[in-house]
Amino acid sequence: MYRSHNCGELNATNINEEVTLAGWVQKSRDKGFIVWIDLRDRYGITQLVFDEERTSKDMLQQAQNLGREYVIQVKGTVIERASKNPNIATGDIEILVSELNILNEALLPPFTIEDKTDGGEDIRMKYRYLDIRRNPVKDSLIFRHKVTQEVRNYLSKEGFIEVETPYLIKSTPEGARDFVVPSRMNEGQFYALPQSPQTFKQLLMVGGMDKYFQIVKCFRDEDLRADRQPEFTQIDCEMAFIEQEDILNAFEGLTRHLLKEVNGVDIEKFPRMLYDDAMRLYGNDKPDIRFGMAFGELNAVAQHKDFGVFNNAELVVGIAVPGGNSYTRKEIDKLIDWIKRPQVGALGMVYCRCNDDGTFKSSVDKFYNQDDLAKWAEVTNAKAGDLICVLSGDTNKVRTQLSALRMELAERLGLRKPDEFAPLWVMDFPLLEWDEETERYHAMHHPFTSPKPGQLELLKTNPGDVKANAYDLVLNGNEIGGGSIRIHDKETQSLMFDYLGFTPEEAKAQFGFLMDAFQYGAPPHGGLAFGLDRLVAILGGQETIRDFIAFPKNNSGRDIMIDAPAPIDDEQLTELSLKLNLKS
């Protein structure tokens, strides 16, 4: 065997034992007459010692020539370490080596394999197999494993059955672009990679599986960012013979279990907030409620005061920044510059200082007196020592802009603490949203989401006002899961397709298999899908997901380690009946 122990388990109780270890050379310290080697594997580091009094001349020279990341095997005796290291589990001992075998030499790595490395993101992604040797990435992947195992164990105990669904499916419109796969055996036809197993899990409910889950890869060809990858993993779940409350209770239970078992945190309350209230109070549908700074709408107290910027705005809205009155004019100017960036797009910002003596000083004192500004403070819940930041403009734009400012200020103020967890259900989303380009409605979630009970008739008169029987689970300002109660009868599903602009023929071609299934006794059903990558990152105290994915893509959707995507040769193109029409 290559090893009797790993590099993280030996301690003082093993002194005088003969052991065999194997791993990578982390670093070496050569004093000429004595050499210390740090040997590393997945489990930890053990110090090896070679000295001229107890080591042969040839072995000492061999140890002196070991390079970083050489793969070696050693046999030796566990001895007490003279200079102990309390920072590692094996810090009380070292191995006096009696036999050294070089299993594989290694080139000098392009970056240091240490917690704080000198490698930039691109170079570490190119050599991801080396990056995985570093503790931050290794520990993140182990953490992901722990979360995944807890999910499987919990759902299995709750009676859910894990069922695999196909990856080669039919292209269906679900919001993002599909990745498509040409079929060699069916000339001119294509599979699509699933954006989610949506229709399959509904068919499993028709099939009587009752409670289904799957930890599954999904694929969306969309623009990328720190928390988005072209291939991602969902905890996909569906239940039959349930109502919305059953779903919420089931997955509150899972989330509570994960927070307890993984983070040691007890969470009792999962507040609920209507979508309309989330937009009004926080400017987005996934608010971070670990801190305050809720929006205060100021139209009634800020308009009609001869200040045209506010008078001409659809919405005037502000937030109170705790302790913000301490900001200098230069700091406020930098804040204004921040919201004017193209990524935010605000034209400017009005501010008001709430002085300790109860007076106010604003950037628009020419138009507003102390009584006016006191009303601003009342609406925004500002206190003495705070700063009121006010934006104005079109309702949707200004809410988005102020939401970005709120999150930036919270980050600067240290209010977004990664070891604090605040879950939130956001409910009653619009069923449909109007698209100006195509001049028709699109499903806000997907075409299989049912309207709220009692609102079906409203589809015929005011489709934009219909609320969906849908819900998102938000954790620390991130959507970690979303789902809905599904449509389970052919008539309602046909009506939904009508409002989404499908002709009967198009609906039949795209979803005829599902419509047919509904005619054979489909039960009421609904579900929820967690984004596993994002959930794991948040539980791990981060908001970017890359370190929790073994081999991630970059922001261009490329795997720079294996250089994919890549061209295929002419023979393959011919075999697939494809011809390239590349723009020069």
Interatomic CA distance for residues 326 and 330, integer angstroms? 11
Cα angle 429, 430, 432 (rounded to 5 degrees) comes to 140
Annotated binding-site positions for ATP:
220-222, 229, 479, 531-534
Q: Which residues contact 16 (CB under 8 A, 6 or more apart)?
A: 77, 78, 79
User: CA gyration radius for the chain?
Assistant: 30
| Beta sheet of 315-321, edge-to-edge order | 296-297, 315-321, 387-393, 350-354, 360-362
Q: What angle do the packed helices 135-157 and 244-263 form, to 10 degrees?
A: 140
Ramachandran category for residue 416: left, alpha or beta (phi over 0 → left; psi -120 to 50 → alpha): beta
Q: What is the DSSP letter of 310?
A: H
Question: Cβ of 502: how many Cβ atoms within 10 Å?
Answer: 18
Interatomic CA distance for residues 567 and 506, integer angstroms? 33
Contact between 124 and 111 (Cβ < 8 Å): yes
The amino acid occupying position 566 is: A
Helix, strand, or coil (residue 85): coil
Name the strand (E) or helix (H) holding 23: strand 18-30
Annotated binding-site positions for L-aspartate:
174, 220, 445, 486
Contact between 257 and 267 (Cβ < 8 Å): no
Token readout for 171 is 């292209």
Token readout for 550 is 């073994």
Annotated binding-site positions:
174, 220-222, 229, 445, 479, 486, 531-534
Supply the DSSP string of 370-432, one letter for each residue.
HHHHHHHHHHHT--TT-EEEEEEESHHHHHHHHHHHHHHHHHHTT---TT---EEEEE--BSE
Q: How far is CA 191 from CA 68, 317, 345, 459, in A?
A: 46, 48, 40, 33
Token readout for 135 is 């503790």
